Structures are given as C-alpha cells and as structure tokens.
C-alpha cells in the first residue's frame, strides 16, 4: 500500500513538474499548441485506460464521445443560445447517458461485445455529424465560439496550455484516486477473473457500466476542451481513426498505467510532428516505430521501462 501510495504521488508529481517546466524550454508558441494537444488527448486516454486497463473492456468507438463533447460546445452556443460552459456540461451528460444506454444491455454479456457495439456507435455518431450539415456544418466542420468564464475570454496558446494541463492534472488525480477504492478494486478484479469477482459479490455488469460511463465523460470533456482550444471542429474528431488512435495511446503507453496513457498520448501526438521531416515516409516510420515498441515493450512503454529500472536497481 505504501508503495502504491508513493506511486500515486510520484505520478502526480512527475506530471505537475513536466507541465510546469516545459514552457521554459519551448522556443515558440507552436510548441505550446502541440503540448496542449498532448494534454487533451492524454485526458481522453487516461479515461479510456480506466475502461481498458482497469476493467479490461475495449471501446473501439471512443471518439464518438470525444465528438459529442466537441460538437456540444460548438452547437450549443451557435444554434441554441446555450452558454459555452453549460454546453460543456450538457455534452458530458449526453455522453454519459449514451454510454449508459449502449452499455447497459451489452455489458451483461461476457466477452468483447462492447468492442463491436462501440465500433457501430462510433460509425453512427460520425455519420450523423457528417450528414446533419445544417447543425454541424457537415464534412467541412464548424467554428466554435470562444469560451468565456466570469467575463474572462479564454484564448491564446499559452493560456490553453495551462488550462488543458490543469484539466489533465485533475483527470489524472481522479483516475489515481479511483484505483485504491472498492470501485477501483472491483474493476481490476473483474478484469482478472469475472467469476471470482462475482462470487465475492461484485455486480460485474454494473461495474463494467460504471467504467464505460466514466471513460465516456473523460472523452467528452477532452473533446470540448479541444473544440474551445482550436475554435473550430470537424467530423474527423469523432471518426474511427481517432478511436483507434485513442486505443493505441493506451496500449502503447501501457494498459493499466495512468502515466502510461499520458506517455502514449505524448508519443502519438509528437512523433508525427517530429517525423514530418521524412515527408512521404512519415506514416511508414510512425507505424514501424509503434510496431518495434510493441515488440520490445510488450506491456507498454511505462510498465516495461519501470520494471527494467527496478531490475537495474536490484542488480
């Protein structure tokens, strides 16, 4: 327990220090933008890790919730006259309700039915966003009104760097909190053995559903944050490729590791930026790096490196 408590503290401390120090080494505002993008994606990945890494369920349509969050803050103020901050909350609520309605019948079944159901949900949501162009601007996307909080207009890349960094810090804190509670233990238990979790009294279907709803809310909030930050949103954010990207972040960083999800997001966002110098070989190299990383670090970047460090320290 003491080890776990330290890990929790360590993760938060590392993250806080990184967020605080990075701006001092950034040569231009472009880096602020990339880093903010990392924090936003990491927020969604940390949430998805609760579902995938802790409770062991796969969602292949998680970008749908990201999209709902993003379009809620776009459509709410533009078409319905809802203030931005309220639209953000409505988007999160909408995502939670949708996750509940989809998850409730599916998660009673054993096996990876959730992956299939969410795959369908993702396609469906993306389709609705693309076709309902009078509301969403269709494939071209739509502008998002700037967020205003208590008369303060939140804008500028360095401002958003701090806002998204703060959001990620809170999201990480909550995810780490969950780990050492009856709920968090129930998630991990049903991941390892559903039948054993059941016979000690864990209502497996209920806890899977909780994990799914939590993950959906994380994604929705991350989507809203990205929409505010960019001031513009398009259907790609809700698309299948983005869903796969989110899953890749969690797996690459290390299933079950909160820090891993953040590292996974950082790698997947920054690597393509770094690889642009290779021009047409960019995607080839990106794929190659991911494949090699998964071969040599099968448990993901963070768990593999930390066990390597422990072994080095012992010998």
Candidates 91-99, 148-156, 170-178, 306-314: pick the segment binding another protein (CB under 8 A). 170-178
Q: Which of 27, 111, 150, 195 binds another protein (CB under 8 A)?
A: 195
Candidates 81-89, 99-107, 173-181, 272-280: pick the segment binding another protein (CB under 8 A). 173-181
Candidates 114-122, 133-141, 184-192, 267-275: pick the segment binding another protein (CB under 8 A). 184-192
Of 79 and 206, nearer to another protein (C-beta) is 206
Query: Can you state the angle between helices 113-131 and 63-75, rounded to 10 degrees?
Result: 30
Q: How far is CA 140 from CA 68, 123, 131, 135, 143, in A?
A: 16, 18, 11, 12, 10
Of 63 and 302, nearer to another protein (C-beta) is 302
Could you tell me the sign of the dihedral formed by the alpha carbons of 204, 205, 206, 211, in that order? positive
* Total residues binding another protein (CB under 8 A): 29
Candidates 21-29, 191-199, 238-246, 266-274: pick the segment binding another protein (CB under 8 A). 191-199
Q: Compute the distance between CA of residue 237 and CA of residue 227 in angstroms, rounded to an integer.
A: 10
Q: Which of 184, 235, 239, 260 binds another protein (CB under 8 A)?
A: 184
Q: Which of 134, 201, 276, 296 binds another protein (CB under 8 A)?
A: 201
User: Shortest Cβ distance from residue 1 to another protein (Å)?
Assistant: 6
Q: Which of 57, 130, 210, 261 binds another protein (CB under 8 A)?
A: 210
Q: Which of 185, 232, 271, 289 binds another protein (CB under 8 A)?
A: 185
Q: How far is CA 131 from CA 63, 93, 188, 252, in A?
A: 17, 23, 40, 33
Q: Compute the distance between CA of residue 49 and CA of residue 185 in angstroms, rounded to an integer.
A: 14
Candidates 31-39, 78-86, 160-168, 186-194: pick the segment binding another protein (CB under 8 A). 186-194
Of 12 and 22, nearer to another protein (C-beta) is 12
- 227, with CB counted inside 10 A (0-12, 13-18, 19+), is buried
Under rule CB under 8 A, which residues in 240-259 are in contact with another protein?
256
Q: Partners of 110 in the beta sheet?
A: none
Q: Compute the distance between CA of residue 205 and CA of residue 210 in angstroms, rounded to an integer.
A: 9
Q: How far is CA 135 from CA 6, 77, 78, 142, in A?
A: 48, 12, 9, 9
Residues 227, 260, 221: CA angle, nearest 5 degrees = 25
Question: Does 186 participate in binding another protein (rule CB under 8 A)?
Answer: yes
Q: Are strands 152-153 and 148-149 parallel, antiparallel or unpaired?
A: antiparallel
Backbone angles phi, psi at 153, to 5 degrees: -85, 115
User: Shortest Cβ distance from residue 200 to another protein (Å)?
Assistant: 5
Question: Does 188 participate in binding another protein (rule CB under 8 A)?
Answer: yes
Question: Does 311 participate in binding another protein (rule CB under 8 A)?
Answer: no
Question: Does 131 participate in binding another protein (rule CB under 8 A)?
Answer: no
In the block, residue with structure tokens 């609760």: 50
Question: Does 193 participate in binding another protein (rule CB under 8 A)?
Answer: yes
Candidates 79-87, 137-145, 190-198, 241-249: pick the segment binding another protein (CB under 8 A). 190-198
Q: Compute the distance between CA of residue 117 and CA of residue 238 in angstroms, rounded to an integer.
A: 16
Which residues sit at the interface with another protein, rule CB under 8 A?
A: 1, 3, 174, 177-178, 180-186, 188-189, 191-193, 195-204, 210, 256
């Amino acid at each position: 327990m003491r080890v776990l408590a330290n890990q929790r503290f360590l993760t938060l401390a590392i993250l806080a220090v990184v967020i605080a120090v990075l701006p001092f080494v950034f040569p231009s505002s472009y880096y602020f933008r990339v880093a903010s993008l990392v924090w936003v994606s990491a927020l969604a990945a940390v949430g998805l890790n609760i579902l995938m890494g802790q409770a062991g369920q796969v969602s292949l349509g998680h970008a749908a919730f990201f999209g709902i969050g993003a379009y809620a803050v776009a459509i709410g103020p533009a078409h319905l006259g809802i203030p931005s901050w309220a639209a953000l909350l409505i988007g999160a609520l909408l995502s939670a309700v949708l996750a509940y309605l989809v998850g409730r019948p599916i998660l009673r079944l054993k096996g990876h039915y959730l992956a299939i159901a969410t795959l369908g949900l993702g396609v469906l949501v993306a389709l609705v966003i693309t076709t309902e162009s009078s509301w969403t601007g269709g494939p071209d996307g739509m502008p998002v009104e700037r967020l205003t909080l208590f008369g303060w207009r939140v804008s500028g890349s360095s401002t958003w760097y701090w806002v998204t960094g703060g959001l990620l810090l809170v999201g990480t804190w909550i995810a780490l909190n969950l780990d050492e509670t009856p709920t968090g233990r129930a998630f991990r238990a049903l991941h390892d053995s559903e039948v054993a979790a059941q016979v000690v009294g864990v209502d497996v279907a209920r806890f899977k559903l909780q994990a799914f709803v939590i993950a959906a809310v994380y994604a929705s909030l991350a989507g809203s944050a990205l929409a505010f930050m960019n001031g513009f949103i398009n259907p790609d954010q809700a698309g299948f490729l983005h869903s796969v990207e989110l899953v890749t972040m969690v797996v690459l960083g290390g299933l079950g590791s909160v820090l891993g999800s953040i590292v996974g997001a950082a790698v997947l966002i920054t690597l393509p930026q770094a690889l642009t110098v290779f021009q047409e070989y960019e995607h080839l190299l990106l794929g190659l790096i991911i494949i090699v990383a998964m071969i040599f670090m099968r448990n993901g970047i963070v768990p593999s490196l930390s066990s390597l460090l422990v072994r080095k320290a012992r010998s």
